[in-house]
A and B are shown apart, each in its own frame.
Chain A
C-alpha cells in the first residue's frame, strides 16, 4: 500500500510569488490535513479537508488556501510569498471518521522563499 506522497520535495521561490503544493493520500483515506513546521513555531495546523470540504482551518492568513479533489488528493496554495513562509509543509491523511483514526504523514515539501 503506497504511503502519503507529497510533491515537490523541495521548492525555492521568490518573495511575492505564489506556490502550489500537492498531497496524494493513502488509498481509501478521505481526510487530508496540512501542517507547517518551522524551527521557531514548531508544527502548526493549517487546515483539514474531508470529502472535498474544508472542515477546519488554523490561524493562518488568507494567503494560505487549499482544496481537495474528488479522488481525495489535496493541494495547498500560498500566494504573495513572504520570507517567513519558508518552512517544511507536511501533509497527513487519515480515514477521517471520528474515533479510531490514525494520521499518516508524507515526507513533506521544503519551501524556501528568497
Chain B
C-alpha cells in the first residue's frame, strides 16, 4: 500500500531564511505524481508544487523547490526567503491511480511557523 511519511510534525524558520520540509513515500509504481499542499488557517488546501516521477528535473515554483530522489523515495520541499505568509500546515501527497480513478494519499503534515 502506498504510504506517505512526514517525519517533522513542526518546524520553525526565521523570516527571509530557508527551510526544508521532509517527505518520504512508499510505492511500487514507476510513474506517479507527488504534490506539496499548503493549508493556512483559512483551511483551504492550496497546491504549492508538483513533481512528475518520470521527470528527473526537480520542480521549482518561485521560492519553492523540491529535492526529488526517486530511488530513495524522498520528496522534500525547500522554501527560500521565507515570508510570514508561508506559515501554515504543509502536506505531502502521492497521487494513487486505481482503475482510472485517482485519489491523493497524504502525509500527516508539518506545521511551519515563520518568526519575524
Q: Are B102 and A105 in contact (CB under 8 A)?
A: no
Q: Are A45 and B103 in contact (CB under 8 A)?
A: yes
Shortest CB-to-CB span from A74 to chain B, Å, is 14
Q: Are A90 and B45 in contact (CB under 8 A)?
A: yes
Kindly state the separation between the CA atoms of A103 and B105 in the bound complex, as whole angstroms: 12
B contact residues around A92 at 8 Å (CB): 45, 104
Q: Are A103 and B104 in contact (CB under 8 A)?
A: yes
Shortest CB-to-CB span from B54 to chain A, Å, is 11
B contact residues around A94 at 8 Å (CB): 102
Count of chain B residues with Cβ under 8 Å from any Cβ of A? 22
Shortest CB-to-CB span from B10 to chain A, Å, is 14
Task: Identify A105's interface contact among B45, B103, B109, CB under 8 A.
Answer: B45
B84 is an interface residue with CB less than 8 A from chain A = no
Shortest CB-to-CB span from A64 to chain B, Å, is 15
Count of chain A residues with Cβ under 8 Å from any Cβ of B? 26
Determine, out of B19-27, B60-68, B93-101, the stretch whose residues face the partner at the interface.
B93-101
Determine, out of A11-19, A48-56, A76-84, the stretch whose residues face the partner at the interface.
A48-56
B75 is an interface residue with CB less than 8 A from chain A = no
Kindly state the separation between the CA atoms of A56 and B105 in the bound complex, as whole angstroms: 13
Q: Are A56 and B109 in contact (CB under 8 A)?
A: no
For B104, the closest partner residue in chain A by CB is A103
For B47, the closest partner residue in chain A by CB is A102
B contact residues around A102 at 8 Å (CB): 47, 50
Kindly state the separation between the CA atoms of A52 and B83 in the bound complex, as whole angstroms: 42
A111 is an interface residue with CB less than 8 A from chain B = no
Q: Are A98 and B106 in contact (CB under 8 A)?
A: no
Q: Are B43 and A108 in contact (CB under 8 A)?
A: yes
Binding site for B on A (CB under 8 A): 31, 33, 35, 42-43, 45, 48, 50, 55-56, 58, 88, 90, 92, 94, 96, 98, 101-108, 110
What are 14 A-B contacts with C-beta separation under 8 Å? A33-B102, A33-B104, A35-B104, A35-B106, A42-B109, A43-B91, A45-B105, A55-B100, A56-B98, A88-B43, A96-B102, A102-B47, A105-B37, A110-B43
